[in-house]
Amino acid sequence: MEKDKIFEQVKQVAINDIDELEHVNNVVYLQWIMDIAQEHWKRLSTPEIRENIAWVVLRHEIDYHRSARLHDDVTIRTWVGETAGFRSVRYVEILTHDGIKIVSAKTSYCLIDPKTFKPMRITQEIRDSLMPF
């Protein structure tokens, strides 16, 4: 993946992210995956586009490679993959401050009309918004 196609955020693990095993709870990782996808989509799209379309999750695939703990700095990065028809795939990696993979995820989304909730075909304009590079 080319570096200029990746959207990144750095986060410090907070006390509310920690579970009884003293590491980041799996549900928190899922929330971070959803949050960065939403932030990236806001950067890639316009308010007009977001008014007329929405994305719903079809499937999450998450692999947990190691644990993050309280006060760890993590980098969360995402990019858009295969996009065609009604579906788009998004990849997310969560890394330690020195680049060791903690979590890798692949999420399949379906484009829908937010008024009817029916699937919509991904137009060239939307595809260009997702992959502007």
State the pairing for strand pair 73-84/87-96: antiparallel
- Worst-scoring range by mean pLDDT, 93-97, 110-114, 127-131? 127-131
3-state secondary structure (DSSP) of residue 114: coil
Residues 6+ apart with CB under 8 A from 38: none
Please state the pTM of the whole predicted model: 0.93
Cα gap 24→28, rounded to integer Å? 7
Which domains does the chain show, CATH number per domain?
Answer: 3-130 (3.10.129.10)
**32 C-beta neighbours (distance < 10 Å), count:** 20
pLDDT 10s digits, 14-50: 999 999 999 999 999 999 999 999 999 999 999 999 9
